[in-house]
Each structure stands twice: as C-alpha cells, then as structure tokens.
Amino acid sequence: MTLFKTVFSVFFLLSVIILAAFFVGFNLDFRAPVSLVFKSYESVPVLLTVAVSFIAGFLLATFIFLTGMTGRFFKERKKRKEEKIRLKKTLPEKKKLSGLPYYDK
C-alpha cells in the first residue's frame, strides 16, 4: 500500500506542476520554432516544448526505476527459492546426524 501511496503522490504532484505550467505558459506569449529531424514547426509555445520534454523525462525515469525494481524483485525471489531448496536438502541430514528420531513427511 505504501508504494501505491508514493506513486499516487508523485503523479498528483506532477499533474499540479503541469497544470500550473500550462496556466502560466498560455497566459504568456513566448513562441519559438521547433525543428524535428524531418519537419519544422513555426511559432510553437515554449511552454509546450518544455512540458513535452519534462513529461518525456519523467516517463523515461519512471520506466528505468520500475525496470530496476522488478529486476531486483525477481533476483531476490530466486535467491530465496534457492535458499529454501538448499535448506530442505541439508535439514534432513542434520536431523539424522543428531541422533534424534527423524520422520520424513
């Protein structure tokens, strides 16, 4: 639940920042040409360029963060599973060597 709360608060903060930036940006009239590789756009609001760049950076950072988190989760899960298997194999041997009666289930 904590991860959901954190992600929700980040998205809420992001949306407030974007809404404030659009409000300020469209009330100002700063325009500039934007040139993509194959196409040029004249008189594009600077705020729009900044907002698109900000959103693209946020999405890329979120993707990288989540990819790292899921990779770490699967590595830890595999390690726990291997440790559990290793303990299952060594536990019967220790009980047999201890001299106590051992009953395999």
pLDDT band, residue 98 (cuts 50/70/90): low
Residues 6+ apart with CB under 8 A from 26: 45, 47
Decide which of 42 and 87 is more confident.
42
Spans of all domains in the chain: 2-68
The structure's pTM equals 0.49
Where does residue 49 rank: exposed (0-12), middle (13-18), buried (19+ CB within 10 A)? middle
Q: At residue 1, does pLDDT exceed 80?
A: no
Q: Please tell me the distance from the alpha carbon of residue 31 to that of residue 7, in angstroms, as a whole number.
A: 33
Per residue in 21-79, pLDDT (tens digit) is 777 767 777 788 888 888 888 888 887 888 888 888 888 888 888 787 777 778 888 88
